[in-house]
């Protein structure tokens, strides 16, 4: 087959990967010279721990398996099976962690409750004050800013892959074909539109009532820490934002322990992961209402800095980068992704939300299976 993939973010690139793996020819078209969206502006976490039970967890676990296999073949991805720790600081937070251990799928996630000393044995960089920590063995990480580049390099080596950057697809033409802004027509046996947060233009024309929204976030990255942060780290505010932690204990946490004002205003959690160069990627915020603010505001950075330093027991290194990003999320957040045939031979795959980096290999595999590749 000849497969046309529109979009070179992680979801599009994983569709290209699966098509090439199955022996097909792929043309991948990207409106930028290289991908520059949410696929690069994220933590690089393969985040199994907080996913909803059922389909979402199954997708994440399958994606975790696929990431490990792809990482073994493309070591430049920086795949690391590092797990995650969520330190808890009081009885309300501890109760949520304990409730998570009672889930029927707790063992599949690799949940274990560690004492503070046990957590420091796993991650010696956590010298701050906390009572215990929820360990999630199945979490992992890759390098988000370079992953697509190295995947593309591996795809090019197949001899069955063509990348066309700096071209915006403007229209669907007949069956299984699209035209770009250079006037070139690209025809295949299947077209998959993986447009990420680009939901206007062609996407809006194809699906005017698309059940997908855009979400804005702020993050930052530090200079090298000077020591290994051997796991990803989250704070207990993350319990409020991930469906796996829903419980009576979480209701009690929400009722009895308000978020700090900055965290509540920006719908914040701490997530922190170390890059291969030693720097820390730290965030994040959630903004849902359009139009998004164009400012990158300081209060969220001050908040996550305080929380990160409280766990590390030391000042953070100098901040090297601050940025904002936008990703696409299904308005029905129980759905892993929005996959829809929009014309004969043309499918739209978008809206994984904050699950894109985690779930993209399995999302693309499901598309390939559904389309009979």
Of the pLDDT bands very low, low, confident and very high (cuts 50, 70, 90), residue 282 is: very high
Provide the pLDDT for residue 98.
98
Of the pLDDT bands very low, low, confident and very high (cuts 50, 70, 90), residue 42 is: very high
Return the half-sphere exposure (C-beta side, CA atoms, 13 A cut-off) of residue 98. 12
For the beta sheet containing 338-343, the strands, ordered from the edge strand earlier in sequence to the opposite edge, are 161-165, 25-30, 2-6, 190-193, 346-350, 338-343
Q: Is 58 strand, coil or helix?
A: helix
Provide the pLDDT for residue 333.
86
Q: Where are the domains of the chain?
A: 1-83+138-211+335-373, 94-134+212-330
Q: 90, 94, 84, 92: which is closest to 119 by C-alpha?
A: 84
d(CA 365, CA 232): 26
Radius of gyration of the chain (CA): 21
pLDDT tens-digit readout, 172-216 = 998 999 999 999 999 999 999 999 999 999 999 999 999 999 999
Provide the pLDDT for residue 39.
87
pLDDT tens-digit readout, 251-261 = 999 999 999 99
Q: 373, 361, 371, 311: which is closest to 336 by C-alpha?
A: 361
- The pLDDT of 261-265, averaged and rounded, is 96
Residue 44 burial (10 A CB sphere; 0-12, 13-18, 19+): buried
Average pLDDT over the chain, rounded to an integer: 97
pLDDT tens-digit readout, 351-367 = 999 999 999 999 999 99
Return the half-sphere exposure (C-beta side, CA atoms, 13 A cut-off) of residue 171. 8
**The tokens of 201 are what?**
């233009």
Provide the pLDDT for residue 290.
87
- Give me the percent of the chain exceeding a pLDDT of 70: 100
Provide the pLDDT for residue 36.
87
Give the DSSP H or E segment for 264.
helix 261-265
pLDDT surpassing 90 at residue 157 = yes
- The pLDDT of 157-176, averaged and rounded, is 96
> Do 1-83+138-211+335-373 and 94-134+212-330 agree at the fold level?
no
CATH topology of domain 1-83+138-211+335-373: FAD/NAD(P)-binding domain (3.50.50)
Contact, 284 vs 218, CB < 8 A?
Answer: yes
Architecture of the structural domain at 94-134+212-330: 2-Layer Sandwich (3.30)
């Amino acid at each position: 087959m000849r497969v046309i993939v529109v979009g070179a973010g992680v979801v599009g690139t994983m569709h290209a990967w699966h098509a090439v793996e199955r022996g097909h020819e792929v043309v991948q078209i990207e409106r930028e010279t290289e991908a520059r969206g949410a696929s690069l502006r994220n933590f690089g976490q393969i985040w199994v721990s907080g996913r909803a039970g059922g389909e979402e967890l199954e997708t994440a676990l399958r994606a975790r398996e696929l990431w490990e296999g792809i990482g073994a073949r493309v070591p430049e991805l920086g795949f690391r099976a590092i797990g995650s720790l969520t330190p808890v600081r009081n009885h309300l937070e501890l109760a949520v962690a304990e409730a998570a251990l009672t889930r029927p799928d707790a063992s599949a996630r690799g949940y274990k409750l560690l004492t503070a000393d046990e957590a420091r044995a796993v991650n010696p960089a956590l010298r701050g004050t906390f009572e215990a920590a929820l360990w999630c063995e199945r979490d992992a990480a890759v390098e988000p800013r370079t992953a697509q580049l190295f995947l593309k390099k591996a795809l090019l080596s197949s001899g069955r892959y063509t990348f066309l950057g700096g071209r915006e697809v403007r229209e669907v033409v007949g069956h299984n074909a699209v035209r770009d802004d250079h006037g070139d027509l690209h025809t295949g046996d299947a077209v998959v539109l993986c447009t990420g947060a680009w939901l206007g233009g062609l996407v809006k024309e194809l699906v005017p009532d698309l059940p997908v929204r855009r979400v804005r976030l702020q993050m930052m990255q530090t200079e090298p820490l000077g020591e290994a942060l051997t796991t990803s780290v989250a704070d207990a505010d993350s319990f409020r934002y991930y469906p796996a932690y829903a419980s009576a204990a979480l209701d009690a946490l929400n009722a009895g322990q308000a978020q700090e004002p900055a965290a509540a205003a920006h719908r914040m959690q701490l997530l922190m992961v170390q890059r291969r160069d030693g720097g820390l990627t730290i965030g994040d915020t959630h903004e849902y209402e359009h139009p998004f603010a164009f400012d990158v505001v300081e209060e969220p950075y001050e908040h996550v800095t305080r929380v990160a330093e409280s766990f590390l027991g030391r000042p953070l290194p100098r901040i090297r980068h601050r940025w904002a990003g936008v990703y696409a999320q299904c308005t029905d957040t129980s759905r892993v992704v929005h996959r829809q045939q929009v014309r004969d031979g043309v499918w739209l795959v978008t809206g994984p939300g904050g699950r894109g980096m985690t779930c993209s290999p399995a999302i693309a595999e499901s598309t390939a299976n559904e389309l009979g590749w």
